[in-house]
Structure 1
Amino acid sequence: MQQQSKQTKLWVMTALFTAITCVCTMVIAIPTPWGGYVNLGDTGVLLGAYLLGPWYGAIAGGVGSALADILLGYTIYAPATLLIKGLMAVVAGLLMGVVGKALSGRLTCGVAAELVMIVGYWLFDGLLSGNLLAGLVGIGSNGIQAVFGIAASTALVMALERSDSVTRNFVSLR
């Protein structure tokens, strides 16, 4: 029964982080001239990876971000977003186990995950346009989004892990 309760709690937290990521993505969505938009969603993706671990974080980050794409009318991006944001969370969550939870480790995880995002959308935009060079146009705005996502998620997770309640409820912080 104890294991079933832990599993239920993990799925509830995953659903919560799916919603958080979707809302973070939608609350500020600044359209770009080349078809995408700059948003706060990477904060939710990285925070989910840090708190839920790589696999449940991938579900929350990928589904939450793809749902925001659909709700905001960027449906063509939803499949790529599901994959890219999910992979971001896997990279951040797995790398955290290697580099640790100190500030430098969190920053390393964030940079690696955001590189996945920048390269992923470059390739997808290149695929959409039929020209990889044309896909390069989104790198600047994705870079700005990445810097904010790294800074915000790092600050939030380092503040949250000071809470006994949070560390009790998220196994990745123990």
Structure 2
Amino acid sequence: MEKIRETVRAGVQDRTRMLVQAGALAALSCAATMVLRIPSPTGGYLNLGDAVVLLGAYLLGPAWGALAGGIGPALADLLAGYAAYVPATLVIKALMGLLAALGYRWARERAGGWTAVCAMIAEIVMVAGYALYDAFLAGSLAVGMTGVPGNIVQGAFGAAASTLLCLALRRSGYVRRVFPRL
């Protein structure tokens, strides 16, 4: 009976730790999205949030990474006055986190620059997702495509920054102990 209690207690502690880490990364991605906002010609803005979304996916894994990756940037859109984008951002960024984490899990077992490739694939989802959502809002695919160049720049920066951060953090024994998925 005591062994069952210990197992349950360990499971609850693990879920609590993951919830706290996901909440912290969601808050960090919200802040990173809002701190440096470079206006784009399409009415949106470029930001640092994608780097945190991808890094959170690497650190937390698919489910928790998707949760943190979707909630933080969606909250940033809401707080920044882009309420129309909240549902799209929630889904697009969560999907980015999910794909990045699954790809990263696969890439960790291989040598080479696979982390960057996984990040770029996740960013392609972001670019396509926002193009389709903008097209839906405007009722025109041509209008939806106007945001693609800015989103490509944001995606490239997010992929590069998250890859470099991942490589740097992977060197820390402490970080690897706290985030064993890294």
With the shorter chain as reference, the TM-score category is over 0.9
* C-alpha RMSD of matched pairs (Å): 1.2
Q: Distance in 2 between matches of 1:103 and 1:53?
A: 20
1:80 to 2:103 alignment = no
The answer for the alignment partner of 1:170 in structure 2 is 179
Q: Give the drift of 1:157.
A: 1.1
Q: Kindly, what percent of the aligned residue pairs are identical?
A: 48
1:24 to 32, 36, 39: 32
The answer for the alignment partner of 2:6 in structure 1 is none
Task: Structure 2: state its 5+ residue gaps.
Answer: 1-8
2:159 maps to a residue whose letter is I
Larger radius of gyration between Structure 1 and Structure 2: 2
Which is further off, 112-121 or 29-38?
A: 29-38
The answer for the alignment partner of 2:102 in structure 1 is 94
Deviation track 1:65-107 (CA, whole Å, cap 9, x = no partner) reads: 0000011111110110000000000111111122326551111
In 2, are the aligned partners of 1:22 and 1:64 still within 8 Å (CA)? Answer: yes
| Deviation >3 Å, runs of 4+ | none
For residues 1-174 of structure 1, the aligned pairs below 5 Å read: 1-100=9-108, 102=111, 104-173=113-182
Q: Distance in 1 between matches of 2:112 and 2:62?
A: 18
Deviation track 1:148-171 (CA, whole Å, cap 9, x = no partner) reads: 101111111111111111111113
Q: TM-score, normalised by structure 1?
A: 0.95
Change in Cα spacing, 1:64 to 1:103, as seen in structure 2 (3 Å) is farther
Task: Structure 1: state its 5+ residue gaps.
Answer: none
Aligned residues: 173
Q: TM-score, normalised by structure 2?
A: 0.91
In 2, are the aligned partners of 1:58 and 1:86 still within 8 Å (CA)? Answer: yes
